[in-house]
């Protein structure tokens, strides 16, 4: 029976050519674009955190790989290891006592959408709150935290609610949580020439980073009490959780219906349609180089061999992509 996952359908909606590269040819970049790599490592670390493993060990593993990169590759990725370390520390501090317990991470869910179409997907996290309600929590990484309008295009999480509840009618999910994490790290406050840290309010930082800077410079937190209190009180510009409790049956039904219709179109047309959907977003497409070479009649095979690998068909590849690039 044909299967449809959200990432396949999202790609199909975006561009049929991109779908062909990604799912028919199973191409993936040898060197992922920096925002994607940041997002992928952060996801791994957050998975480890929820499974009570040590996320810093994961980062240390990447640090070893990072050291073996060529200079130009390191320039491409920037100081990704230290940035991620700071982002993770801030996240860990922000949600140290969030009251959610993880029941499952990267959980496979599958259910029939019709007699000849099956939905498959991976739930980032299934968590339970202090009142015993279950939620789907989805980590969304990106340069910025989107507003409510942008979240409209992220309602696919309701598909997972529908699929899970269909398969587990006595153990239902109550709602979804978008767990936004910015991949831009908080700024480390500057050490002033006259001594001490800058207390300027326009520094885009957070409590964990500011506190760490105090410790790193052997300063006394009491001298920065006001700034620390402000940072503790403000809504974090780096992390945000947005909850959608009890989505209505009508809303879920419409998301499922739209998905089903596109999935049927995708199953029918994807063997034949490789049409490009060229937009300004093409510059951030991971297949831009090969797509462009094929369009211009340049040596696309050379690009294919040098820049891409062919992924294992068993890799699920259903991870979320970046919010923005
Ligand atoms: S570069 Fe644009 S047209 Fe080409 S595959 Fe990517 S999204 Fe499609």
CA-to-CA distance for 156 and 5, rounded, in angstroms? Answer: 10
Each residue of 241-283: pLDDT tens digit? 999 998 999 999 999 999 999 999 999 999 999 999 999 999 9
Enumerate residues lining ligand 1, CB below 6 A: 15, 17-18, 276-278, 282, 285, 287-288, 291
Q: For atom 4 of ligand 1, which residue has the closest CA?
A: 291
Q: Which of 284, 291, 296, 303 to mutate to test the pocket of ligand 1 (most atoms within 8 A of CB)?
A: 291
Flag whether pLDDT at 322 surpasses 60.
Answer: no
pTM: predicted TM-score of the whole model, two decimal places: 0.84
Radius of gyration of the chain from its Cα atoms, rounded to whole angstroms: 22
**What does the alpha-carbon distance between residue 49 and residue 43 come to, in Å, rounded to a whole number?**
10
Atom of ligand 1 nearest to the CA of 17: 5
Q: What is the pLDDT of residues 98-126, one digit of tens each?
A: 999 999 999 999 999 998 899 999 999 99
Could you report the per-residue pLDDT of 2-40, keeping only the tens digit for each?
899 999 999 999 999 999 999 999 999 988 877 788 888
Is residue 323's pLDDT more than 70?
Answer: no
Residue 321: pLDDT over 80: no
- Residue 219's pLDDT is 95
- pLDDT tier, 316 (very low <50, low <70, confident <90, very high otherwise): low
């Amino acid at each position: 029976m044909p299967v449809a996952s959200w990432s396949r359908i999202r790609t199909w909606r975006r561009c049929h050519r991109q779908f062909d590269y990604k799912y028919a040819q199973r191409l993936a970049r040898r060197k992922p674009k920096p925002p994607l790599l940041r997002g992928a490592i952060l996801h791994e670390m957050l998975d480890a955190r929820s499974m009570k493993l040590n996320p810093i060990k994961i980062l240390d593993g990447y640090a070893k790989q990072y050291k073996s990169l060529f200079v130009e590759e390191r320039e491409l990725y920037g100081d990704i290891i230290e940035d991620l370390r700071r982002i993770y520390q801030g996240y860990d501090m922000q949600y140290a006592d969030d009251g959610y317990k993880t029941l499952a991470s990267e959980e496979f869910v599958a259910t029939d959408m019709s007699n000849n179409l099956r939905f498959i997907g991976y739930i980032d996290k299934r968590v339970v709150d202090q009142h015993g309600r279950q939620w789907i929590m989805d980590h969304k990484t990106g340069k910025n935290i989107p507003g409510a309008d942008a979240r409209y295009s992220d309602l696919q999480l309701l598909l997972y609610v529908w699929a899970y509840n269909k398969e587990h009618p006595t153990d239902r999910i109550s709602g979804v949580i978008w767990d936004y994490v910015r991949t831009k790290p908080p700024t480390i406050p500057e050490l002033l020439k006259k001594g001490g840290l800058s207390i300027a309010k326009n520094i885009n930082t957070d409590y964990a980073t500011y506190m760490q800077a105090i410790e790193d410079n052997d300063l006394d937190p009491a001298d920065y009490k006001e700034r620390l209190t402000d940072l503790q009180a403000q809504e974090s510009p780096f992390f945000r959780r947005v909850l959608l409790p009890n989505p209505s049956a009508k809303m879920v039904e419409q998301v499922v219906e739209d998905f089903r219709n596109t999935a049927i179109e995708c199953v029918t047309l994807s063997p034949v349609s490789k049409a490009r959907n060229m937009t300004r977003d093409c510059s951030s497409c991971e297949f831009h180089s090969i797509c462009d070479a094929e369009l211009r009649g340049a040596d696309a095979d050379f690009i294919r061999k040098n820049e891409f690998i062919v992924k294992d068909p068993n890799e699920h590849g259903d991870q979320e992509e970046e919010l923005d690039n």
